[in-house]
Structure 1
Amino acid sequence: MKRMMMYVVLCSFSFSLLMGCGKEPAKQMSDQQSEMNAIGNPTAQDVLSMDANANILMYEDTIYHAGVPWVEALQLTKDVQLTEIRRQSKVGTDFQNGTANQLEAGTKIFRVKERNDILIAETEKGDIRFYQLVEG
């Protein structure tokens, strides 16, 4: 009888242990999925909440940021015009493609020949370089 009772307790404990271990990976996957959903490219709201004076624009659902020192040091050649700024907004949640917070509506935006992650805005005060902000 003692042997039978010990066997039942041991089986119950083993089963509980296995069930507990089986649930943990599923929970971990759920946590990882939630974390993956939270990770992504910075939004206009993200950038402006860190620096209200940041000079940004949105092109093809991606935020571009001006004032990156190493970008300013590059030798770049302005290529074809891609778009122009359609609207200006200081509110990050209002951003959509063609929105900038400091550039005026009508500002022309150009691609550069040397890189795919930099755009140039042509303004009356001179060209401004914008670097693509992506997670990665």
Structure 2
Amino acid sequence: MLKRMIIYVVICSFAFLNGCGKEPTKQISEQHIETKTIGNPTAQEVLRMDSNANIFMYKDTIYNAGVPWVDELKLTKGIQVTEITHQSNNGKAFNNGSANKLEVGTKIFRVKERNDILIAETGRGDIRFYQLVEG
């Protein structure tokens, strides 16, 4: 009788512990499904958040004008790195050289002081653009 009772307690303990071990695995699996990949903003995302944004794409990265602290910096225009080759208000159609407000042919320059700011040279004056990156 004692032997049966010990076997019963061992079997019940094993079943209980085995059941507890499966639940966390299920929770981890469900959490993995909900994980989203985060990356740099796309033209479509930027224009969805602000339809009046002034943006262009260079080296697969969106640059945005109108950032107050960027406009206040003392910067020196460096070498030309690209120019606008396509104009579109459709964020899905954006690729390198695309802009939504800058005219085709607008020249884009680096600045000597920073790597995350570019300057567009326009007939109305220079416009500073800040690199939009995640993180």
Per the TM superposition, whether the score is higher than 0.5 is yes
Give the SS at the match of 1:80.
strand
Listed one character per residue, the Cα deviations across residues 19-76 of structure 1 (whole Å, up to 9, x for unaligned) are 3234444544x247x32x2x11111011100111100000000000000000000000
What is aligned with 2:73? 74
Listed one character per residue, the Cα deviations across residues 65-116 of structure 1 (whole Å, up to 9, x for unaligned) are 0000000000000000000000000011110000000000000000000000
What is aligned with 2:63? 64
Distance 1:103 1:66 in 2: 11
RMSD: 1.5
What is aligned with 1:7? 10
Structure 1 unaligned regions, length at least 5: none
Distance 1:47 1:25 in 2: 33
Verify: 1:118 aligned to 2:117, yes or no: yes
Structure 2 unaligned regions, length at least 5: none
Larger radius of gyration: 2
Distance 1:21 1:84 in 2: 54
Distance 1:96 1:118 in 2: 19
The alignment-based identity, stated in percent, is 58
